[in-house]
């Protein structure tokens, strides 16, 4: 029988040392040269502001701010009684660099290194020109505002190691494209209304031509040419309307749609017609004042024009949602940290990758998953989170055979720097 390193006294000691060290590091003063920028603490923020609403450092009076976040974790999974043991994952290192070119011209880029540098992506690199709070132009590599997570995806903001399934398995978060568009917001009384509208490069045939063996919007991320060439030749339209209330919360309605295939190439017809992908998403977030309970969620419905001559393995309708409930149980000075908090949380994930019935049998097509993830997280400061998650997942194959059951433990951290 394998001896777990968790039972090793050395492991306990190392864990305690890491806790102690992290406390000492946090306690050190920042270099006087580096100044932490003040984040916008007004109550006029919406999810659409997430890219700029991050902690960052400035150097003297330079108009440039830098920042980023790092997340890493250990993972131990058991699938139907079988495990491949314990692994450590350096999930992502993300760097932000922003500059105020002018009072009303801003630039920000977000470069992400995933899986130890195996995947390097410019997730966001855009210039914003503000003409009016209701009219800002943005161009470059933009984050398509579908749902809320895609724009508000920084690890330290979440109590869970895994990103929501609906965001990364159904939708292609983090999904960014070369494109242009506009956004704006206004507020009156307690209400805030914001909008975004972009035209960008879009999807390609990988939606239905991929090794996942299912309709997969996220497969588009494997196309390295999508920042240079729009595969279909038709722009992807992404729009969002968000409504916030200082006392209630925020709800967003977003749409993304366009052609994903290419009909003509070199003057020759290579497919019979334009095929569309359309996505509609709703997101919400709120905090219950009396208990401090934070609730955030997102749902999405996807329509894809899959050729009728293709296999039913690839569905033309998909849907999913996630819902997080975060309950602070201790918010006080702890271990010397002034604004520490201890939270318990739970997430529910659901994704149906293939909605409909089999033509031959009129029985329900499977290919879905549901997962619940209770979590305990400790935040020594709002910008740093230590997370212990337990995820239990049931995944059905396309035929609805007995579900594959997976239990996974995660212990990890995510921190802005």
User: Interface residues with other proteins (CB under 8 A)?
Assistant: 4, 6-7, 11-12, 15-16, 19, 76-83, 86, 205, 208-213, 261, 270-272, 275, 307, 309-313, 330, 332, 334-335, 340, 342, 358-361, 363, 365-366, 376, 378, 388, 390, 397-402, 405-409, 411
In the complex, minimum distance from the CB of residue 246 to other proteins, in angstroms, rounded to a whole number: 32
In the complex, minimum distance from the CB of residue 360 to other proteins, in angstroms, rounded to a whole number: 4
Between the CA atoms of 281, 282, 287 and 288, what dihedral angle is there, to the nearest 10 degrees? -140
Cβ proximity to other proteins: between 5 and 101 the closer is: 5
Task: State how far the alpha carbon of 65 is from the alpha carbons of 58, 123, 208, 403, in Å.
Answer: 4, 17, 41, 48
In the complex, minimum distance from the CB of residue 411 to other proteins, in angstroms, rounded to a whole number: 6
Cβ proximity to other proteins: between 187 and 400 the closer is: 400
Task: State how far the alpha carbon of 146 is from the alpha carbons of 180, 190, 205, 389, in Å.
Answer: 15, 25, 20, 26
Q: Is 32 exposed, middle or buried (0-12, 13-18, 19+ CB in 10 A)?
A: exposed
In the complex, minimum distance from the CB of residue 122 to other proteins, in angstroms, rounded to a whole number: 25
DSSP per-residue letters across 399-411: T-PSPEEEEEEEE
Q: What tokens appear for 77 in the block?
A: 């999974």
Q: What tokens appear for 123 in the block?
A: 């997730």
Listed residue (90, 65, 87, 69) closest to 78, CA to CA: 87
Of the CA atoms within 13 Å of residue 142, those in its CB half-sphere come to 28
Cβ proximity to other proteins: between 39 and 395 the closer is: 395
Cβ proximity to other proteins: between 190 and 229 the closer is: 229
In the complex, minimum distance from the CB of residue 16 to other proteins, in angstroms, rounded to a whole number: 7
In the complex, minimum distance from the CB of residue 216 to other proteins, in angstroms, rounded to a whole number: 11
With a CB cutoff of 8 Å and minimum separation 6, the contacts of 216 are: 206, 207, 210, 353
Cβ proximity to other proteins: between 190 and 271 the closer is: 271
Cβ proximity to other proteins: between 127 and 342 the closer is: 342
């Amino acid at each position: 029988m394998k001896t777990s390193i968790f039972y090793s006294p050395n492991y306990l000691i190392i864990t305690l040392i890491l806790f102690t060290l992290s406390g000492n590091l946090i306690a050190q003063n920042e270099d006087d040269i580096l100044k932490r920028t003040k984040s916008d603490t007004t109550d006029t923020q919406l999810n659409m502001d997430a890219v700029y609403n991050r902690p960052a450092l400035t150097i003297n009076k330079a108009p440039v701010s830098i920042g980023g976040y790092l997340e890493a974790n250990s993972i131990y999974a058991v699938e139907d009684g079988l495990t491949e043991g314990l692994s450590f994952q350096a999930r992502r290192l993300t760097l932000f660099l922003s500059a105020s070119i002018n009072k009303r011209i801003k630039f920000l880029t977000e470069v992400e290194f995933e899986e130890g540098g195996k995947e390097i992506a410019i997730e966001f690199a855009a210039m914003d020109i503000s003409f009016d709070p209701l009219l800002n132009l943005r161009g470059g590599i933009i984050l398509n505002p579908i749902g809320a997570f895609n724009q508000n995806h920084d690890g330290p903001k979440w109590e869970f190691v895994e990103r929501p399934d609906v965001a990364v398995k159904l939708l292609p978060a983090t999904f960014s494209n070369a494109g242009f568009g506009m956004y704006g917001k206004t507020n009156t009384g307690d209400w805030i209304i914001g909008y975004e509208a972009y035209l960008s490069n879009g999807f390609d045939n990988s939606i239905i031509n991929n090794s996942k063996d299912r309709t997969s919007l996220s497969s588009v991320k494997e196309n390295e040419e999508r920042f240079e060439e729009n595969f279909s030749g038709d722009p992807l339209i992404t729009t969002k309307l968000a409504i916030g209330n200082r006392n209630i919360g925020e709800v967003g309605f977003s749409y993304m749609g366009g052609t994903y295939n290419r009909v003509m190439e070199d003057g020759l017809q290579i497919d019979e017609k334009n095929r569309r992908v359309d996505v509609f998403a709703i997101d919400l977030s709120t905090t219950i004042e009396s208990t401090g309970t934070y609730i955030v969620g997102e749902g999405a419905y996807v329509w894809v024009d899959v050729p009728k001559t293709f296999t039913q393995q690839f569905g033309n309708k998909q849907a999913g949602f996630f819902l997080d409930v975060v309950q602070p149980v201790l918010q006080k000075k702890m271990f010397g940290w002034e604004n520490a908090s201890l939270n318990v949380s739970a997430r529910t994930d659901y994704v149906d990758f293939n909605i409909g019935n089999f033509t031959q049998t009129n029985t329900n097509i499977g290919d879905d998953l549901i997962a619940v993830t209770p979590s305990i997280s400790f935040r020594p400061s709002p910008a740093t989170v230590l997370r212990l998650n337990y995820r239990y997942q049931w995944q059905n194959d396309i035929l609805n055979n007995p579900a594959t059951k997976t239990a996974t433990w995660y212990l990890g951290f995510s921190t802005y720097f």
